A and B are shown apart, each in its own frame.
Chain A
Amino acid sequence: MLKWMRLLLMVAVLMLGLGSALAQDSGNTLIMARAADTTGLDPHTQTAFASLRLLELVYEPLVTLDANLNIVPALAESWTFADDAMTLTMNLRQGVKFHDGSDFTAADVVASFNRILNEETGAAARANYLSIASMDTPDDYTVVFNLSVADVPLLAAMASVNASIVPSEVIESGDFAASAIGTGPFILDEWIPEEVTRLSANAEWWGEGPFVDGIEMRVIPDEASILAALRAGEIDFALLNDPLVATLLNGDSSITLNAVPALAYHVFQLNPSRAPMDNLAVRQAMSCAIDRQEVLDTASLGEGTVTGPLTIPAYQVDTSGFFCYQKDLDRARELMAGVEPFTIKAIVANAEPPTALSEAQSIQAQLAEIGITLEIEPLELSVYVDRWLAGDFDSAIALNGGRPDPYTMYARYWTSAGNLQVVTNYIDETLDSLMAAGRAEPSFENRLEIFTQFQQHLTEVSPWIWLYNGFEYTAHQPYVVGFEPNPTDSLYSFAKVTLER
């Protein structure tokens, strides 16, 4: 009996040893982990952040954003906007090849934008490119976009995975689910949903790099486990969402933690189509009663910055100029004079973002001080999205995505033609005209002036109460060199990364 058990033990030890030996073969491959996985491979229709993180390595748009959100060349080498902002001419990079070996030309650009604009495609980003009336291709490497209205933000809107250029042949065959043929620095070899995605370096890439042989993207559904894997040295790089997890790395000198102010913003959305939120004074009172810093401190451990509507660094202004950005209970009570204490509900998505419930609880406690009872209604994410899209809520805790341009970021919400007017239920002349002016204005100084007025007006009429923007977290081993954290959370700079173990 004893002999038999000893033998069994030996076999077990041997197998475990063998397993570990076989596991360590990463070499010059960057191993990263994240909690959520890609939901699909079509760059024009995928909007989930988790999908974009993969697709931006494989597909490339004409222009892209650097770490300071400047628009920089990608597949277009240069571009010119006509003075009236009615035509945009793109000079394409020459000698670029798709992963299937075919040449990248103007025809692919035209085919890609036609696909995005075609309603049959179901591209949610289509709304950003509607000003494109027609496209001309004077030669194989020039595309002229003729616009129906002056549209300065179009350029920034093109700096998106959703405006990626795909081969015209693939568009004809229509098969985006099976393969991913782009021009990007990495080639998709294998995607096993919810397990692992393997990419290899594109040796033909037009830029300098990539310097790693490939990338292995693993899904580790629990962020605490991601952290453990990082600390155990099992992975090189990690995407983190939850500030409560990411901040555990503060002061850990063996791991590099990057925290970049996010474009996405945390907001307490009111529904002005419902009483008593239809009353301006009530909305303003709520804005005055909420200490935004306190929400940030309690829900996110202070990881972030109190913000107005615009989170784009170039357009951010001192928030103290906004309506009631300092908690003012006296003023709130004054505004509530004559209003009976009331109860409203707030919809909150379960763990989306991870801080949502804590934000709601902080607001609940603060609103109680002026006689407003907030009932929190936690919902599963899809149910929440359904209610949110239908505008079916008194109020909502939301983390909304940001865009590099103020117009693209808010046209959906605060223009009378905006697709999401059904969600905001608020529009006025001032917002409409400021947005139209900002769209047509080419000069940055003038746009800053326009959008500052926009922010001031929006915070004063308070259909929503903007709270704060947090950080986009990435963490990696110190030997991962050259990664540039981006406010859009983009991983595009993986092309520049070297592993200096």
Chain B
Amino acid sequence: MRRYLIQRVLAFLPILIGVSLLVFMAIRLIPGDVITATLGTEAGMLTDTQRESLRRYYGLDRPVSEQYVNWITRAVVGDLGISTRHGKPVTELIAERFPVTLQLALMAVTLGLLVGVPLGIIAAVRYNSILDLLVRLLALAGLVMPGFLVGTLIIFVLSTVFGFLPNAGNFARFNENPGLNLQQMIFPAITLGFAFSASIMRMTRSSMLEVLGEDYVRTARSKGLRERQVVTRHALRNALIPVVTLVGVEMGYLLGGTFIIETLFSLPGLGRLLINAISQRDYALVQGATLFIAFTFVLINLVIDLLYAAVDPRISYERNRA
């Protein structure tokens, strides 16, 4: 187990270095820099001396290789540099934004599971019934309706019918004002959770159908177990493996920030931080945030792999058991 963990963690390194290099080069290759991004067309009014002085100020006058080495050596010890736009350490900005993104992701995934798994089971157990059809239709709706549409509809209905706006730009973090925070977070979570519950529903249903046809389910039934026990104790546990994978992928995706939903609901999450940093050519912030997102993504994948073992005892990472 330990050996497996060490192997996996070591495998992080080439991934993270690759990501950092890619992002570092990409953000510098696209036209425009922090000077044109902040000054806009007024940058044309700068004299050469002025431009040089600004480039020096932002550290853009050094060779790219030197910039990279400087950055990566500090990143290793957790110093991701200073954001040009915010004038704050990148790590501090990520620490401010990540909890919002994490909370949103957890709420969305929880909602998705709470709705998706039971409906998926029902659809599988009542295979080809009206209920199954309804669930499948709902899942289809969740899959084809993009988040920005669902979100816009939610805001529209809430504000016109109920005169309620989820967030008027006065975002409160959970530790500041839990009530207001939940009020502001629940609707974006529903927006994201809706689409996710659809995939969960479909995955649970098809996986359950497969498992329900297995020999051990027949054995369980022939032992005289009640159907409820057969489904929840024997079938579900085995059917959950692909669902766990799905949760992992979704978490990884959501933790990268959801720019459109964050914009729609005025949430200060990681997605808006990163996208705005790109349009502002805030190099340190783009690099730092991307590296962080890549890191959480590989970490989530590791956690998911370990979860498999918990869900399905047949899977083990112990060397001597295999």
A431 to B292, CA, bound (A): 54
* Binary interface encoding of chain B residues 31-60 relative to chain A, with 1 for a CB under 8 A from any of its CBs, else 0: 110001111111111110111011001000
Q: Which residues of A contact B301 (CB under 8 A)?
A: none
Query: Main SS of the interface on chain B?
Result: helix
Q: Which residue of A lies closest to B281 (CB)?
A: A382
Q: A47-B42, A178-B87, A193-B85 are in contact. Are A122 and B57 (CB under 8 A)?
A: yes
**Which residues of chain A from 155 to 179 have a CB within 8 Å of any chain B CB?**
177-178
A389 touches B41 (CB 8 A): yes
A40 to B165, CA, bound (A): 30
Residue A225 at the chain B interface, CB threshold 8 Å? yes
* B44 proximity list for chain A (CB < 8 A): 389, 412, 419-420, 422-423
A101: Cβ under 8 A from any B Cβ: no
Q: Is the CB of B165 within 8 A of A228?
A: yes
B179 at the interface (CB under 8 A from A): yes
Most chain B CB within 10 A, of A16, A124, A221, is at A124
Query: Is there a chain A Cβ closer than 8 Å to B129's Cβ?
Result: no
B-contact bits for A16-52, CB 8 A (1 contact / 0 none): 1111101100000000010000011000011110000
Cβ–Cβ < 8 Å partners of A234 in chain B: 165, 168-170
Q: Are A195 and B268 in contact (CB under 8 A)?
A: yes
The proximity string for B residues 105-129 relative to A, scoring 1 for CB distances below 8 Å and 0 otherwise, is 0000000000000000000000000
Question: Would you call B39 and A119 a contact (CB within 8 A)?
Answer: no
Min CB distance, B164 to chain A, in Å? Answer: 7
User: Residue A126 at the B interface, CB < 8 A?
Assistant: yes
Contacts of B156-179 to chain A: CB distance below 8 A: 159, 163-165, 167-172, 177-179
Q: Please name all residues of chain A whose beta carbon is closer than 8 Å to the beta carbon of B165 when the two chains form the complex.
A: 225, 228-229, 232, 234
Contacts of A23 in B (CB 8 A): 170, 172, 177, 180
Closest to A231 in B: B159
| Neighbouring A residues of B172 by C-beta, 8 Å | 19, 23
CB-defined contacts of A33 to chain B, threshold 8 Å = 168-169
User: CA A131 – CA B134 in complex, angstroms?
Assistant: 76
**B87→A177 contact, CB < 8 A:** yes
Taking the complex as formed, is A240 at the interface, i.e. its CB lies under 8 A from any CB of chain B? no
Q: How far is the CA of A219 from the CA of B167 in the complex (A)?
A: 11
| A22 and B87 form a contact (CB under 8 A) | no
Q: Is the CB of A381 within 8 A of B279?
A: yes
Number of interface residues of B (CB under 8 A): 54
Task: Take A22-B177, A119-B53 as given contacts and tell me if A220 and B266 are in contact as well, using a CB distance cutoff of 8 Å.
Answer: yes
> Given B39, B45, B87, B183, which contacts A19 in the complex, CB threshold below 8 Å?
B183
A235: interface (CB < 8 Å): yes
Whether A220 and B32, one on each chain, are in contact in the complex, defined by CB atoms closer than 8 angstroms, is no
CB-based contact A48/B38 at 8 Å = yes
The 0/1 profile, CB within 8 Å of A marked 1, for residues 245-287 of chain B is: 0000000000000000001111010001100100111000000
Contact of A124 among B46, B170, B266 (CB under 8 A): B46
The CA-CA distance from A380 to B27 in the complex, in Å, is 13
> Is the CB–CB distance between B266 and A221 below 8 Å?
yes
* Bound CA span A422–B38, Å: 20
CB–CB A225/B266 < 8 A? yes
B185 CB to closest chain A CB (Å) equals: 11
Query: Can you pick out 12 interface pairs between chain A and chain B where the beta carbons lie within 8 Å of each other?
Result: A15-B179, A22-B179, A45-B39, A125-B42, A219-B169, A221-B263, A228-B155, A232-B159, A234-B168, A386-B31, A387-B31, A422-B44
